[in-house]
Every structure is written in C-alpha cells, then in structure tokens.
Structure 1
C-alpha cells in the first residue's frame, strides 16, 4: 500500500470515528494519530476497519483510544483490535 493510500484510509477512518463515536469531542488529528500509531504497532487492516459495521468499528476505535499508551505509542492491556492483521491473514498451507 502506498503512503498516500494509507494516509487517505486513516483519514477516512478518523472522520468516521469523529462523527459516529466521539461526536466532535476529540479533534480529528488526535484520532488520526492514534489510528496511525496503533496500525504501526499491531498491524491493522485499514480497509477492513474502514468497512466494519458500527459495532465492530466502535470496538476497535474505542479500544485503541483506551489502550494506546501515548508515551510509548504501544497498545497495552493485551488489547488486539478485530481489524488486526493477525485476524485477516490467509492461512498458510501445511
């Protein structure tokens, strides 16, 4: 994925999160940065996150907001988003 495509996906996710979950209570750049850091740390399938239904989208965004340590830029407390790449990889043949 190109950097430009990645930035557009993250921004689209942040805009959706801002309107559906935070209702303007958090600034867009903070949401954008949280998603970017979490994605770099755990490997998030951004297309899957963008296309999630409201329940799973809220689970991942609220979990990232709650469990992202903004000092270390790592997800803590064993939180793994449902859009994490480990859940979206194709199984390897045996």
Structure 2
C-alpha cells in the first residue's frame, strides 16, 4: 500500500480518489506519521442477516391470530368495560 504526504494528497486529491475507487488503497501521512487509510467503498463486507437465529427461543401461541378477538370486537363496538381512561 502506497503512502502519500498530506501535501501531495491535497494537490492530487482527484487522482488519488480515482485510484482508490479502482482498488488502489493508500495512506496519507504527515511528517512520516500515518494519519488515514483510504480504501474503496466496495471493499466493505456486506452485513448479512442470520435467518432462524432465534429458533427455539420464541414461541407463538397457536391462536395468535385470534387472541383477544372478542375483546377487540367489543372495543370497536363500544361495549368494552375495561379499565377507565385516565
């Protein structure tokens, strides 16, 4: 990986960015001390999702799609006698 001085990076920034976009990473240094590493954005590994990562840790009741159905219907019909609103 090549190293360029901060002054050179300021002077030839467009060219250096084009080179990095083609996969040629480089380091910008000042007084021989590395400051930053420039790498192409495509080199970042994509985040992957792990399907089934919670298998066995979560259970869904068989009647999930009808849970509290009667209560919900009463709420919509104005017949619900639950907790009073504050």
TM-score (norm 2): 0.26
- Structure with the larger RCO, 1 or 2 (CA within 8 Å, 6+ apart): 1
Quick check: which has more Rg, 1 or 2?
2
Q: Higher strand share goes to which structure?
A: 2
Q: Higher helix share goes to which structure?
A: 1
